[in-house]
Amino acid sequence: MTAPRDTETPAAVPAAEEIPAGRASLWRDAWRRLRVNRLAVAALFVLCAVCVTVVAGPWVTPHTYDAQDTALGAVGPRAGHWLGTDPLGRDLLARLLQGGRVSLLIGLSATAVSLLIGVLYGGVSGFAGGRADALMMRIVDILYALPYTVFVIILMVFFGRNFLFLFLAIGAVEWLTMARIVRGQVLSLREREFVEAARALGLGRARILIRHILPNTLGPVIIYATLTVPRVMLLEATLSFLGLGVQPPMSSWGLLIKEGVETMEEYPWLLLFPSIAFSATLFALNALGDGLRDALDPRTSRD
């Protein structure tokens, strides 16, 4: 009774491409296309490495992210402190790994929040159609026109620099595009035969939407979610850089860059290593997102 996902997008397979014998599902097809994209595969590899390192790393490093050694002070990279230490004698590698945990956690959880709101809002709007749809999309249009970075800054200043609040605030402003994408998909999906069939079987509206229509929007949703993660991480880092995000002694990549800037003349490594880690991760996420878009939706080529 599930929706016929396999046969959904015959147009997605370019005629010129050789179609292997047997039934290629959308996903196997996409994986095949992704595999030949060397940049995307490298990005996927880098991301896995980053994730494993920041998750497992803090258990392995001999120093903790907040252990100070003021007698040592700031020293450059050397044995025992591979990436050097900051003016308080804290090990940069340990802080970098912990910061990566925080940055990635915020990136993923805020994306999850935006995903949840965006998919539900867009799905309901597109499925309801008519006047409700017009009203809901008009609200999105108005919210789009708001300078949302400004609002996140206001929220952070006036309502405390709370960790949980940070990603809720970011997630709450990042859902708009997701809602638009899902709504567009749902609008065309709800006219399809399998929805009619589900309706004929007497299924409820909520069940049709959640079990049959939304799963079919997965492709664009995954693509956009992959591209949302770096945007969120960027916003978090910007806030932390302005002193509005993660607070010391906790660590995040944006905060480390901020601390690095303050002492960059004397201790340039404190700026360089966090910058490299942050930019490389953003690069990999964007490259993977682009690769996924090419693989899952070949009709829209690279912009």
Give the binding site for other proteins (CB under 8 A).
Answer: 142, 145-147, 149-151, 153-155, 157-159, 230, 234, 237-238, 241-242, 254, 257-258, 260-261, 264-265, 268, 271, 275, 278-280, 282-283, 286-287, 301-303
Closest to other proteins by CB, 187 vs 264, is: 264
Q: How far is the CB of 274 from other proteins (least distance, A)?
A: 9
Residue number with CB closer to other proteins (154 or 201): 154
The amino acid present at 53, given as its one-letter code, is T
Select 89 or 243, whichever has its Cβ closest to other proteins. Answer: 243
* Secondary structure of residue 201 in the 3-state scheme: coil
- Both structure tokens of 139: 């609200």
Min separation Cβ 104 and other proteins, Å = 15
Question: CA angle at residue 121 from 119 to 125, to 5 degrees?
Answer: 115
Q: Which is nearer to other proteins, 25 or 279 (CB)?
A: 279
Nearer to other proteins, 126 or 260 (CB): 260
CB of 216 to other proteins, least distance (A): 27
d(CA 230, CA 220): 17
Instruction: Decide if 34 contacts 292 (C-beta within 8 A).
Output: yes
Residue 135 in tokens? 């009203």
Find the length of the chain.
303
Phi, psi for 174 (deg, rounded to 5) = -95, 5
Nearer to other proteins, 105 or 261 (CB): 261
Please state, as a whole number, how many other Cβ atoms lie within 10 Å of the Cβ of residue 200.
9
Closest approach of other proteins to the CB of residue 193, in Å: 32
Compute the least distance from the CB of residue 268 to other proteins, in Å: 6
Residue pair 273/83 in contact (Cβ under 8 Å)? The answer is yes
Tokens 């996927």 map to which residue? 44
Phi-psi region of 84 (alpha: psi -120 to 50; beta: other; left: phi over 0): left
Please state, in angstroms and rounded to a whole number, the distance separating the CA atoms of residues 255 and 259.
6
Could you identify the residue written with the tokens 């959308």? 26
**Closest separation between CB of residue 7 and other proteins, Å?**
29
CA separation for the pair 9, 21 (Å, rounded):
17
Residue 216 has which token pair? 């079919």
Nearer to other proteins, 22 or 160 (CB): 160
Tell the smallest beta-carbon distance from residue 123 to other proteins (Å). Answer: 24
